[in-house]
Structure 1
């Protein structure tokens, strides 16, 4: 499995219908740091590739809690990875960022702070 696909699977877990524990945050932060991607690229992966595929889970009464189907998730993220090259898609994602990420944005910002701190220390 490609590194980016591992990131998609890991980041998608933010949208699962379960509370997150500190150890999960730390594990995901380590994956993000080890990816070697910049904070800007990780934010693009989050907003343009993963969020459009999984955000609906936060809006249903009994959402997925044990993990998204990997085939379904990876297919959608690959498609979104191609669409993010189009200005209209990026604009749509920016317009709908709040509805797509309202339940996970605080967790994401915490993760990005951990990544930024690690990158400023050199890893």
Structure 2
């Protein structure tokens, strides 16, 4: 996939979900915005899970673990460049390796992700709260 197609398909979703890795807990308005963007992209929960585990977590977990990492906000342009570069290399053994270690890279944000997915399922009428 060429860079422009990747950016066109994923940039909005990636940048909307990136705050899951920030120091602060997402606010109600943050979750509502994330659900709205997810709904526009019309992805299954399984597809969203793999985007979380393979496309986002390898890049954002490094930010989270870095001593000089971003904690309050991200530089969206820099982050987008990092996400595109990572995803352009996400083939073969790299994809398998990230899948294998995705439990570690998602562990710090899994509770937030689960909350977000529950909200998506409520929005889609798959569960009630």
TM score, norm. by length of structure 1: 0.79
Distance 2:105 2:52 in 1: 10
Call closer, same or farther: CA 1:101–1:72 in 2, change over 3 Å.
Answer: same
Structure 1's consecutive aligned runs of 4 or more residues displaced over 6 angstroms after TM superposition are none
Describe how 1:18-57 pairs up with structure 2 within 5 A: 18-57=24-63
Aligned CA RMSD, in angstroms, stands at 2.3
**Size of the alignment, in residue pairs?**
120
Residues 57 and 105 of structure 2 are in contact (CA less than 8 Å); yes or no, is this contact kept in structure 1?
Answer: yes
Distance 1:23 1:16 in 2: 15
Call closer, same or farther: CA 1:94–1:3 in 2, change over 3 Å.
Answer: closer
Matched, 1:110 2:115: yes
Distance 2:99 2:58 in 1: 11
TM score, norm. by length of structure 2: 0.76
Describe how 1:85-96 pairs up with structure 2 within 5 A: 86-96=91-101
- Superposed CA deviations along residues 1-54 of structure 1, whole A, max 9, x for unmatched, are 735201111111111122222221222122112221222222222111111111
Distance 1:30 1:3 in 2: 16
Alpha-carbon distance, 1:95 to partner: 2.2
Structure 1 gaps of 5+ residues are none
Residues 64 and 71 of structure 2 are in contact (CA less than 8 Å); yes or no, is this contact kept in structure 1?
Answer: no
Moved more, 55-64 or 43-52: 55-64
Structure 2 gaps of 5+ residues are 1-6
